[in-house]
Chain A
Amino acid sequence: MAKRVLLGAAAVLLVIAAAYASFFVAPEERTMGVLQRIFYFHVSCAWAGLTAFSIGFLTNLLYVWKRKDKYDWLGVSCAEVGVAFTTVVLISGPIWAKPAWGIYWTWDARLTSTFILWLLYIAYLLLRTLIEEPDRRALLSALFGIFAFIDVPIVFGAIRWWRTQHPAPVIMGGPNSGLAPGMRGTFFFAVFAMHILMWFLISERYSLEKMRSDVELLRQEAEAT
């Protein structure tokens, strides 16, 4: 219990510290000014989301191989947390785009691909609600999770290629292109902070799923008597 509170507190403190650094430590960007500072939040959320989905992919593989419930619990936790982070990316992007470009949305390569990524994992979560039997649900969602994840690089690649055919405004110049040294420190600190938050949320969700499974067993026991 103490470990959980500690992790939660660490996550909150780090995220606040990263926000502070984004505004007061990082240098101001030349062309976009103060608006660019959203980048530290937006991109670090994107990376944490992708990390969550990647861990989920590994646990999906492990479930199909080993069939241990804990991999299923970890899988759904990673997917939900990944969706949460990706939602924040999809919301902070347009909020940035409106003052920068005058429009809420632009079908730029990264944002479009992120939208599809989001839809894929929403589909994963919906699939889980439509299968009642726990073992079947675990196996089939793990398999869909695997298919979804291997599709992600193809989606990003194809859409980026499509965008080179039909150029459009790019929302962020590119996180690793032209990151001034002063920015780099803040950026990686923000990435670190978001990953701690991700770790905290995944472990909380995992505990919930584990509890759900225990309750199900208890329920069956109660019905048997």
Chain B
Amino acid sequence: MHSTNYVIRFVLIMTCVVALVLAAMATLLQPVHKANEALYNKRGIIQAVETKLPKPVGEMTDAEVADVFDSKVEQYVINTDGERLSEEEVIEAGYPGGKAENIDMEKEKKKDPSDRLLPVFKYQHEGSDYFIFSVRGNGLWDAIWGNIALESNFNDVAGATFDHKSETPGLGAEIKDNPNFRDQFIGKEIFSEDGKFVSITVRKGGAKDPDHEVDGISGATITADGVTAMLENGLENYMSYIKENRSQKVKN
């Protein structure tokens, strides 16, 4: 049996050693972690326009993803009134990078809707523009998020990707894992015939309206409803911007 004095000394030394080693390791690796995270997000963003990319995102190396993102994507930040913000304004709002890719959607979701900052990614391909918007919502267990790409008429969907924090594999996680789920969004329309915003609904039991609905995933109704709500609320944030550009197009 060791004395109490010895126990306390042992524990103190052990704690200090462990704390130092782990803190040093975390600090040293932090730049790598940040770079990885940024690249992972870029992958998600350009995956929304996967059909327009030179090859599927899954087959791209990190360098190729960075290259496509840097050379073909124009990014800017808007507010909910659809006004474009300058880099200084974004930095002032608490994002030192000042770019759309730095926007933390979770932080923005907690803000009052009128104060939100929204990232826009414009992808150029063969003379046409595609606008990628980021959305975030709640699944069954935790956060879900995604990127939805609209064609330059701001109505037709060019593609969508989804990701999640901890949905069930084989059920809710299919929104990310199953390419057939996200492919369904291609060609859908977010406005009805008479110009009303209807978003896209993930329908349990199979899509009924071919223009505005996609098939749900059996066993994952709550996640699917989460996707529906996320798309509606997320696109609603961008609505001033979308409507403004849409009316310009109609005038032209």
Are A and B bound to each other? Answer: no
Measured CB to CB, the residues of B under 8 A from A are none
Which residues of A line the B interface, CB within 8 A? none
